[in-house]
Structure 1
Amino acid sequence: MNYKKLGTTDIDISTICLGTMTWGEQNSQEEAFEQMDFSLENGVNFWDTAELYAVPPKAETFGHTETIIGNWFEKTKKRKDVILATKVCGPARDYIRNGENSFVGKNLETALHNSLKRLKTDYIDLYQLHWPERNVNNFGRLGYVHKENEWNKFEDVLVELQKYIEQGKIRHVGLSNETPWGVMNYLKLSKEKGLPRMMSIQNPYSLLNRSYEVGLAEVSIRENIGCLSYSPLASGFLSGKYRNKQFPKGSRMERDWDFWTRYRKPNTNEAVDEYFNISEKYNIDMSQMCIKFCEIQDFMSSVIIGATTMEQLKTNIESVKVNLDKEIINEINEIQKKYPNPCP
Structure 2
Amino acid sequence: MDAPAVVVAATDPQTRAAASRWAAALGAAVELTDTAAGARRHWSGASAVLVDAAMARRLVQAGTPRRPHVVVVDPEVGHGEELWRTAITLGAALVCRPDPGSQTAVLELMSSALEGRGEACVIAVVGAVGGAGASVLAAGLALSAARRSWRAVLVDLDPAGGLDLVLGAESVPGARWDTLDATGGPLPAGALVDVLPRHHDVALLTRSRGGATTSTEPAEVVTAVRRAGDLVVLDVPRHPAAHGVLGCAELTVVVVPEDVRSVAAARHLLDDLRQVAGTVVVVGRGLPGGLGRSGLAQHLAVPVVARVAHRGSVRRDVAAGRGPGRALDRVARTVLGLVGLGGTP
TM bracket, shorter-chain basis: 0.3 to 0.5
TM-score, L = length of structure 1: 0.34
TM-score, L = length of structure 2: 0.34
- Structure with greater proportional strand content: 2
